[in-house]
Amino acid sequence: MSSPQLRAELKKLIVTELNLKHRDPESIEDDAPLFGGGLGLDSLDALQLAMSIEERFGVRIPEGDEARQIFRSVRTIADHVARVQVLPKVGQQG
């Protein structure tokens, strides 16, 4: 499970990386859908977000259907980051 701090950090990352200057990070709800409706993000945003999450947290987002599940909401991303971060290094490489 992810911490509120991690989710808050992710919201800030989303706003700055995707240039959502008109959005207050705190106004993004933990479980709100990020793509399509919701924040209105698209596949290019998903790529940018995946790259910045890897940079910031050292966590790779897998590609394809798995990514779609992870990118559902701030909470699902945060849970993925938290889960991978506690894994030992060897697990990450596998």
Return residues touching another protein (CB under 8 A).
17-22, 40, 42-45, 47-48, 51, 54-55, 63
Q: Distance between CA 31 and CA 74 in Å, rounded?
A: 6
Minimal distance, residue 50 CB to another protein, in Å: 8
**Cβ-based nearer residue to another protein, 2 or 18:** 18
CA 47 to chain centre: 11
**Cβ-based nearer residue to another protein, 45 or 74:** 45
Q: Distance between CA 33 and CA 31 in Å, rounded?
A: 6
DSSP 62: P
Phi and psi at residue 35, to the nearest 5°: -105, 165
**Cβ-based nearer residue to another protein, 23 or 75:** 23
**Cβ-based nearer residue to another protein, 17 or 30:** 17
> What is the DSSP code string of 63-76?
PTHHHHHHTTSHHH
Minimal distance, residue 6 CB to another protein, in Å: 21
Minimal distance, residue 33 CB to another protein, in Å: 17
